[in-house]
Amino acid sequence: MSKAERTRQFIIETSAPLINKKGMAGTSLSDIMEATKLAKGGIYGNFENKEEICIESFLYLRLQLASKLDVAASKGKSAREKLFNLLDVYSNAKNMTEGCPILNFGTEADDTNPVMREHVKKAILSAQKRFFTIVEDGIQNKELSAELNPEHFSVRTFAMIEGAILCRKVFGNDNQMNIVLDSIKNELEKYVL
């Protein structure tokens, strides 16, 4: 990796948690300069504008979260174990200390930033597909009942988890997250063969 590539990556990794917490509009170039200890020229020598930093920060955070989820799922042997492992990632607030980037960036970009909205849309579909694939494989492998609709389960599970993440941030506790995760687990148990 060249020095320029390392500097660019450093800016992304340093800015990403800040932008995830303060928002795209709420994070100023001065905030990024302070966090990175770089001058304006050092930042704009690597990025065209703040929007590019925001997009790259989202993509970085999305990749970090997806990697945690994929590793957790891969440790499960059955569909049930894989799904429960995924839910365990979401149950641990340390995995998203500043909230979920899909929720944070998506809320801000839905009406104001069509480029970011498309990136968030892809992230949502990918997250839902992760649940869908595990359920579908579980049905094909006779681990889960065919009465469980993979599409409905994946959309509902994702939406419930994102709502619980929002509640976690607003209330400052895991009460609602625990209720949601228990509800998802209880529903899934009804379909385990």
Nearest to 90 by CA among 18, 160, 15: 160
Please report the pLDDT score of residue 18 as a whole number.
Answer: 95
Sequence letter at residue 62: R
CA-based max dimension of the chain: 60
Alpha carbon distance 143, 86 (integer Å) = 17
Please report the pLDDT score of residue 111 as a whole number.
Answer: 80
3-state class of 193 per DSSP? Answer: coil
Number of CB atoms found within 10 A of residue 61's CB: 24
Enumerate domains of the chain plus CATH numbers.
58-189 (1.10.357.10)
Alpha carbon distance 71, 26 (integer Å) = 32
Please report the pLDDT score of residue 98 as a whole number.
Answer: 78
pLDDT digits (tens, 9 = 90+) for 79-106: 999 999 999 999 987 877 678 999 999 9
Ranges of residues in the chain whose predicted pLDDT is under 70: 97
- Is pTM, for the whole model, over 0.85? yes
